[in-house]
C-alpha cells in the first residue's frame, strides 16, 4: 500500500483551488460537498465552476497567488492550465505545510482524490495510488451495482438504535451477532425498501425478547419474490442481483434460464418447481407452503419468477401463505415479457401515430374457454399483448376476427424474447397460426397485436433468422 487512506474532516476549513476550468470545478465541488470553505483563484470561471460558485457559495477572486492564500488551509489544489502557476502553488503549499494536489502531476501530489461512491453518508473510496484511475472508476461502478442506494439510510437507522442495543446486549460477541443479523437480514431489507417503521417494529420485538430473558431469536427466515425479467441476465435489477447473491435457497421454474440461474449464489440450494418437472424429488406441497416451511427453518429464500412477479406471475397467490404465517417477505419488480420482447423485437407498444393504449391479457383461459372481453380489447389505437397465448393461437385469432377484428391487422409473435436465440414471426393476424406452425414456434412466446408491429422494420436491430414476411 503506497498511500494511506484516511477520511478527513474539512468542515468549515479553508481549502484553496487554483484554476477555473473543469478539473478545478470537480475538486471544488467535492471538497465543498464535504463542507469546506472553498476559495478559487483564477482569472475567470468556466461554466461549471461559475454555476457551482453560485450554488454552493464558493468564493472567487482573480490575481496572484501568494503565501497568505495558503494560511490555515486544510488542503490545496493546483488545477490551472498554467503549469508554472501550479508549481508555485505546490511550493507555497509545501512551505506552509498544507497537503497539496496538482492535477495530472502525480509527482506533485501529496495526496490523491480517490474514486468515490457516496451512499448517503456511507462512503467507499477506491484508489490505485494514481496508477490506473480508469480502473478505479470501473471498480467503483462494480461497487455501485452491489451497494444498495439506501445504505446510508441503514447506517442512520443503526445509529439511532445503537445505544439501546448496547444497553440491552452487554456481551460484545452477542451484540456483534445481533447487528450482523440486522444488517444482513429482514430489518435491512425493510429499510432498503423504505419500510422503516416495520423495521423498527422488528427491532423492538427482538430487543423485547432479549429483555424478557428469552434467547435471542436465531436468524429469522424471509422470502424474496424476485422478478428476474424475460431472460437476458442484463435485464436484472440491482436489487434482484443483490438478493440472488444472498439467498440460501432458490425456487425457480422453467422461465428462468441458465444465464440467470448462474448468477445466484453458488452454494445456494436450487429447487426446481416448474410444471414440466419430471424430477420426482420435487415435493408435492404447493409452492406457497414450501416457501413458508423453508423460511420457517430460518432460511433466506429466493423465489425467482420470470418477468415481473405481479404480472401473470401468480406472485399474489404465493405471498398469501407468507402473509398468513407472518413470514417477512418482499416483492421485487422485474421487466415483464411485454417490455422485454417489444424492445428486443423493435416494436414500440405505444406510439403517437399508432397506439395510445396497450393492454396485457392472458390467453390461458380456464377449461379451453378464453373468456376474453373482446369488445374492450379490439379498439382503435390500442395494442394487445397476449401472454400464454401460443397454444390457443388458432382459437384466439378466430375469436378476434369473429368480434370485428380485421384479419389483416399486423401482429407478431416473439419466441424466447431477449434470449440469444429469440425469434420473431410477424404478419397479418389471420395468417399468424399458419406462420407460427411453419416456424415451429414454442414456449415461451408472446403475441403482440396492433399496427405498432409495422414499425418493426424501421426500428428492429435484432434480425430473426427465420422471419416470416409482413404482407
Shortest CB 10 distance to ligand SAH, Å:
49
Does 252 contact ligand SAH by CB under 6 A?
A: no
The smaller minimum CB distance to ligand SAH, of residues 114 and 231, is found at: 231
Sequence-separated contacts (24+) of 47-55 with Cβ below 8 Å: 48/22, 49/20, 49/21, 49/22, 49/24, 49/25, 52/25, 52/28
Coil vs helix vs strand at 18: strand
Does 416 engage in binding with ligand SAH (CB under 6 A)? yes
366 flagged as catalytic: no
Q: Which is nearer to ligand SAH, 114 or 417 (CB)?
A: 417
In the bound state with ligand SAH, the residue whose beta carbon lies nearer, of 40 and 335, is 335
Q: Strand pairing of 59-61 and 37-41? A: parallel
Distance of CA 266 to the CA centre of its chain: 21
Eight-state DSSP code of residue 229: B
Interface with ligand SAH (CB under 6 A), residue total 23
Q: Applying CB under 6 A, does 346 fall inside the site for ligand SAH?
A: no
Q: How far is the CB of 269 from ligand SAH (least distance, A)?
A: 23
Question: CB under 6 A: which stretch of 18-26, 58-66, 300-308, 434-442 binds ligand SAH?
Answer: 300-308
Q: Considering the rule CB under 6 A, would residue 273 count as an interface residue with ligand SAH?
A: no
Q: How far is the CB of 132 from ligand SAH (least distance, A)?
A: 39
Residues between 48 and 77 with contacts to ligand SAH, criterion CB under 6 A: none
Radius of gyration of the chain (CA): 30
255 near ligand SAH, rule: CB under 6 A: yes
Which three cell numbers, joined as nine digits, stand for 33?
A: 460537498
Span from 17-25, 86-94, 188-196, 438-446 in contact with ligand SAH (CB under 6 A): 438-446
**Cβ-proximal residue to ligand SAH, closest one:** 307
Q: Using an 8 Å Cβ cutoff, are 125 and 136 in contact?
A: no
Which one of 37-45, 90-98, 243-251, 444-452 is the stretch in contact with ligand SAH (CB under 6 A)? 444-452
Identify whether 199 is preceded by a cis peptide bond (ω within 30 of 0).
no
Query: Does 185 contact ligand SAH by CB under 6 A?
Result: no
Catalytic residue among 2, 163, 173, 275: 275
Q: How far is the CB of 85 from ligand SAH (least distance, A)?
A: 59
Distance CA 12, CA 35 (A): 6
Q: Binding to ligand SAH (CB under 6 A): which residues in 228-247?
A: 230-231
Indicate the length of the chain as a whole number.
471
Interface residue with ligand SAH, options 29, 189, 222, 308 (CB under 6 A): 308
443 binding ligand SAH? (CB under 6 A) = yes
Stretch that binds ligand SAH, among 234-242, 270-278, 335-343, 348-356 (CB under 6 A): 335-343
Minimum gap (Å) between residue 179 Cβ and ligand SAH = 36
Alpha-carbon torsion (417, 418, 423, 426), positive or negative: positive
80 part of the interface to ligand SAH, by CB under 6 A: no
104 is catalytic: no
Q: Strand, helix or coil at 46?
A: coil
Sign of the dihedral defined by the CA atoms of residues 438, 444, 449, 452, in that order: negative
Sole binder of ligand SAH in the list 414, 425, 436, 452 (CB under 6 A)? 414
* Binding pattern for the stretch 368-407 against ligand SAH, x by CB under 6 A and - elsewhere: -------------------xx-------------------
Measured in degrees and rounded to the nearest 5, phi and psi for residue 225 equal -95, 105
Q: How far is the CB of 417 from ligand SAH (least distance, A)?
A: 3
The answer to the question of residue 312 lying near ligand SAH (CB under 6 A) is yes
Asked if residue 333 binds ligand SAH (CB under 6 A), the reply is: no
Q: How many CA atoms lie within 13 A of 391 on its CB side?
A: 9
Q: In what order do the strands lie in the sheet with 423-428?
A: 357-362, 382-387, 445-449, 410-415, 423-428
417 touching ligand SAH, by CB under 6 A: yes
Q: Which of 186, 221, 313, 410 lies at the binding interface for ligand SAH (CB under 6 A)?
A: 313
**Residue (of 345, 399, 340) closest to 375 by Cα position:** 399
CB 446 within 8 A of CB 337: yes
Tell me the sheet residues that pair with 305: 227
> Considering beta carbons, is residue 181 or 422 the nearer one to ligand SAH?
422
426 binds ligand SAH (CB under 6 A): no
Asked if residues 39 and 14 have their Cβ atoms less than 8 Å apart, the reply is: yes
- Rounded to 5 degrees, what are φ and ψ at 66? -130, 175
Could you tell me which of 156, 164, 173, 163 has the C-alpha nearest to residue 204? 164
| Residue 337 touching ligand SAH (CB under 6 A) | yes
- The total of other beta-carbon atoms located within 10 Å of residue 298's CB is 13
Q: Catalog residues that contact ligand SAH under the rule CB under 6 A.
A: 230-231, 255, 305-308, 311-313, 336-337, 341, 387-388, 414, 416-418, 443-446
User: Which residue numbers are catalytic?
Assistant: 253, 275
Amino acid at each position: 500500500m503506497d498511500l494511506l487512506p484516511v477520511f478527513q474532516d474539512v468542515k468549515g476549513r479553508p481549502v484553496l483551488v487554483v484554476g477555473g476550468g473543469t478539473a478545478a470545478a470537480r475538486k471544488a465541488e467535492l471538497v465543498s460537498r464535504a463542507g469546506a470553505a472553498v476559495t478559487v483563484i483564477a482569472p475567470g470561471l468556466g461554466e461549471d465552476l461559475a454555476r457551482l460558485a453560485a450554488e454552493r457559495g464558493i468564493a472567487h477572486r482573480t490575481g496572484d497567488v501568494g503565501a497568505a492564500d495558503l494560511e490555515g488551509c486544510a488542503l490545496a489544489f493546483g488545477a490551472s492550465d498554467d503549469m508554472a502557476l501550479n508549481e508555485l502553488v505546490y511550493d507555497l503549499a509545501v512551505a506552509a505545510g498544507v497537503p497539496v494536489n496538482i492535477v495530472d502531476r502525480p509527482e506533485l501530489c501529496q495526496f490523491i482524490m480517490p474514486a468515490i461512491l457516496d451512499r448517503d453518508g456511507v462512503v467507499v473510496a477506491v484508489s490505485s495510488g494514481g496508477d490506473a484511475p480508469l480502473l478505479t472508476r470501473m471498480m467503483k461502478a462494480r461497487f455501485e451495482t452491489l451497494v444498495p442506494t439506501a445504505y446510508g439510510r441503514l447506517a442512520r437507522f443503526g445509529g439511532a438504535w445503537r445505544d439501546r442495543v448496547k444497553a440491552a446486549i452487554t456481551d460484545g460477541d452477542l451484540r456483534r451477532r445481533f447487528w450482523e443479523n440486522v444488517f444482513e437480514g429482514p430489518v435491512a431489507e425493510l429499510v432498503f425498501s423504505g419500510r422503516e417503521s416495520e423495521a423498527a417494529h422488528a427491532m423492538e420485538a427482538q430487543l423485547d425478547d432479549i429483555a424478557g430473558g428469552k434467547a435471542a431469536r436465531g436468524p429469522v427466515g424471509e422470502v424474496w419474490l424476485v422478478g428476474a425479467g424475460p431472460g437476458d441476465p442484463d435485464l436484472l435489477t440491482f436489487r434482484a442481483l443483490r438478493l440472488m447473491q444472498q439467498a440460501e435457497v432458490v425456487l425457480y421454474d422453467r422461465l428462468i434460464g441458465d444465464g440467470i440461474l448462474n448468477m445466484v449464489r453458488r452454494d445456494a440450494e436450487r429447487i426446481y418447481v416448474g410444471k414440466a418437472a419430471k424430477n420426482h424429488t420435487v415435493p408435492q406441497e404447493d409452492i406457497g407452503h414450501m416457501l413458508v416451511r423453508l423460511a420457517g427453518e430460518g432460511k433466506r429464500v429466493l423465489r425467482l419468477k420470470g418477468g415481473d412477479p405481479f404480472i401473470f406471475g401468480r406472485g399474489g397467490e404465493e405471498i398469501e401463505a407468507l402473509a398468513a404465517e407472518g413470514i417477512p417477505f418482499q416483492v421485487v419488480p422485474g421487466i415483464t415479457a411485454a417490455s422485454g420482447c417489444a424492445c428486443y423485437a423493435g416494436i414500440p407498444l405505444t406510439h403517437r401515430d399508432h397506439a395510445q393504449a396497450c393492454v396485457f391479457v392472458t390467453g390461458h383461459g380456464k377449461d379451453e374457454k378464453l373468456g376474453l372481453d373482446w369488445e374492450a380489447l379490439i379498439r382503435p389505437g390500442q395494442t394487445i399483448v397476449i401472454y400464454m397465448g401460443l397454444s390457443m393461437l388458432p382459437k384466439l385469432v378466430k375469436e378476434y376476427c369473429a368480434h370485428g377484428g380485421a384479419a389483416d391487422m399486423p401482429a407478431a409473435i416473439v419466441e424466447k424474447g431477449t434470449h440469444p436465440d429469440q425469434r420473431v414471426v410477424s404478419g397479418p393476424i389471420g395468417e399468424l397460426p399458419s406462420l407460427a406452425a411453419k416456424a415451429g414456434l414454442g414456449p415461451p412466446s408472446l403475441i403482440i397485436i396492433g399496427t405498432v408491429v409495422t414499425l418493426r422494420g424501421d426500428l428492429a436491430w435484432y434480425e430473426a433468422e427465420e422471419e416470416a414476411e409482413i404482407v
